[in-house]
Amino acid sequence: MSVDSVQDVRAAKAERVPFRAESKAALRRSERKPGALLQAFARTGLAVALSAGVSAGAWQAWRWATSAPLFAITEIRFVGLEHSTEAELLRRSGLSIGENLFHADLARASKAIEAQPWVASARLERRLPSRVIASVVEHRAVLLVQLGGLYLLDDQGQLFKRKAPADGVDLPVVTGLAREDLGKPETTLRLALSLQLLDAWKAEGYSIASLSELRLDGGGATLFARLDEAVQEIRLGSADFPLKLHKLSQVRAALARRGERAARIDLDNQSRPEWVSAQLTSQR
């Protein structure tokens, strides 16, 4: 055999070696596949068993929590009440002492409480093991509005209920609005104007108790305020309330120094804004 033939044989053997090695590796991998599949199935089965166990445990815990005497409601406490009463809100809520804490429908109870006219919002929460706390925010009434009857206006400009004797409020009355105009943009703006005017009145140092009426009409705002034993009419127009009320303080002080008193003061001179006119009553 020639040298070239020997080399060809060796080359052929060398070429066949990788093929044999690859075949053996593939064979070994194929031999391992059944075991790997069994392990995967075992892991899946274990996960399913654990999940079922957790679910069963959670169900048992829920059944225990919703029936154990430990979680029977012993207190339903309301905070933030001024005009509403606990008895009425408890009746509206549908909650009761002895009811299971986790069975109590707090979302439904909250909506039922918010149906009480004085209540602006109510938030109920569970306090383990046996209490319910109801945090109530009431409307803050700042004015009465005459609309064929007296209605309460809150500090957000919302008319939230008709005044009743049990409300126990004594507030300035907004007049000049028509019931049929409720909901119209112009009426909404006038109510917002009344709140601005009220803020300006307080900012100037006047008490709400001294203000009896805010008349709103097409010409703007007119106030009726108690001064000593009389009621003073104050014409303000529709703008620059802080400036005009500051002028009011100056006019009142000047009249007091002279021993005089005005039944009517007009601060809405559009042609001469710096002018103030006063209708005097009598000297002291």
Among residues 203, 214, 280, 211, the alpha carbon closest in space to that of 245 is found at: 203
pLDDT of residue 84: 94
Query: What are the per-10-residue average pLDDT scores of the chain (284 residues)?
Result: 47 48 51 59 55 64 83 97 96 97 96 98 97 98 96 96 94 95 90 95 96 91 92 93 95 93 92 88 63
pLDDT at 12: 47
pLDDT of residue 19: 42
Distance CA 228, CA 210 (A): 10
pLDDT of the residue at 21 = 47
Q: Please state, in angstroms and as integers, the Cα–Cα distance from residue 278 to each residue in 27, 224, 235, following that order.
A: 113, 14, 10
Tokens 């006047």, located at residue: 206
